[in-house]
Amino acid sequence: MIHEIYPHRFNNQFIIANDIEEDDYILHYNENSLLLKTKGDGFELPRKNDVSDLFPVMGSTFLFSLNDVRCFLVWDAPSTIPDQFSYKEISFFRTLKPQEIAWVSIAGFQLMNWYLQNRYCGKCGSKTTEKEDERAIVCPECHHIVFPKISPAIIVAIVCNDKILLAHNANFQENWYSLVAGYVDIGESLEETVVREVKEEVGLDIRHVRYYKSQPWPFSGSLMIGFFAEADDTQPITPDNIEITEANWYSRGNLPNHPTTISIAGELIEKFEKGEV
């Protein structure tokens, strides 16, 4: 999966860092695109010493570390973009190599959006500031503190003997299928969410719900929590026609287009395809 970058090391521990050093990585976003440095046929994260001449002002926020090298979010726009640099739309993460660069790019994108969404206090409306001793935003007027929000969401591979249920979401491209997923509601356990989401979206009753593993998903600020479950395939499938427009049972070796193992959805499907569930 995208976040599994071993032997590279991603460390999101917050540190007090006011000055960017010459070898520190720079992440600068222009809306949904990230500034990258070309390297042969690929790309790499620029370091401060690569871009010092491009940023007349370099207002920054510490993000995290990659392989013990600090990564900073730079807010100010560059004065110019030389040929060896280019903005790449953030969806490149699905194909960008090396994978560790793809991962920190989308993790930084999540944090950037969190900072932007909390520029003003949700309680009193005052302009907020970054807290100096931890990753948090504080209101200087009412002292309200906001920490990064993570939204838990379940995703479930429903199987019956040698078949798996795959569904087409209304937001998917044509001929693309994945698993049932949804956000945990207030007061719900994860297992209750699995049962509810499956019933709501495809009308099935399930049993033998069992945990698989989890994956952080920065684009939606989610923690995707993966499950397997079983269902009787004689039940009628009834898509809700709101989120899910079509759902069917598929056998091994005959699966439609679906996510790759860069996501937990793809890994769950691959486990089924290999006969490991």
Q: What are the structure tokens assigned to 87, written together?
A: 């903005």
HEC string for 66-82:
ECCEEEEEECCCCCCCC
- Give the model's confidence band at 269: pLDDT under 50 very low, under 70 low, under 90 confident, else very high: very high
Give the predicted TM-score (pTM) of the model: 0.91
Question: Residue 41: pLDDT above 90?
Answer: no
Backbone φ/ψ region at 175: left (φ over 0), alpha (ψ -120 to 50), beta: left
Question: Average pLDDT in the 193-221 region?
Answer: 97
Lowest pLDDT segment from 4-13, 92-101, 261-270: 92-101
pLDDT of residue 229: 98
Question: Average pLDDT in the 158-185 region?
Answer: 96
The residue ranges of every structural domain in the chain are 10-117, 151-273
Angle (CA) 8-13-18 rounded to 5° is: 110
What is the CATH number that goes with domain 10-117?
3.90.79
Render 171-238 in DSSP notation, one character per residue. TSPTT--B-EEEEPPTT--HHHHHHHHHHHHH---EEEEEEEEEEEEGGGTEEEEEEEEEE-TTSPP-
- Nearest CA among 19, 18, 63 for reference residue 45: 63
Contact predicate 263/213, CB 8 Å? no
Contact predicate 265/222, CB 8 Å? no
pLDDT of residue 95: 80
Q: What is the mean pLDDT of the chain?
A: 95
Q: Give the type of residue at 147.
A: F
Angstrom distance (rounded) from CA 110 to CA 70:
17
Provide the strand spans (E) within 31-176.
33-39, 42-44, 60-66, 69-74, 85-89, 129-130, 137-138, 145-146, 151-160, 163-169
pLDDT tens-digit series, residues 81-110: 888 999 999 888 888 788 899 999 999 999
Q: Which CATH number fits domain 151-273: 3.40.640.10, 3.40.50.10420, 3.20.20.70, 3.90.79.10?
A: 3.90.79.10
pLDDT tens-digit series, residues 118-149: 999 999 999 999 999 999 999 999 999 999 99
pLDDT of residue 9: 97
Contact predicate 201/239, CB 8 Å? yes
Question: Residue 171: pLDDT above 80?
Answer: yes
Q: Is 64 strand, coil or helix?
A: strand
Contact predicate 164/158, CB 8 Å? yes
User: Which has more confidence, 273 or 52?
Assistant: 273
- Give the model's confidence band at 185: pLDDT under 50 very low, under 70 low, under 90 confident, else very high: very high
* DSSP 8-state code for residue 250: E
Same fold yes or no, 10-117 and 151-273: yes
pLDDT of residue 17: 87
Q: What are the structure tokens assigned to 15, written together?
A: 């540190």
Question: Average pLDDT in the 5-11 region?
Answer: 96
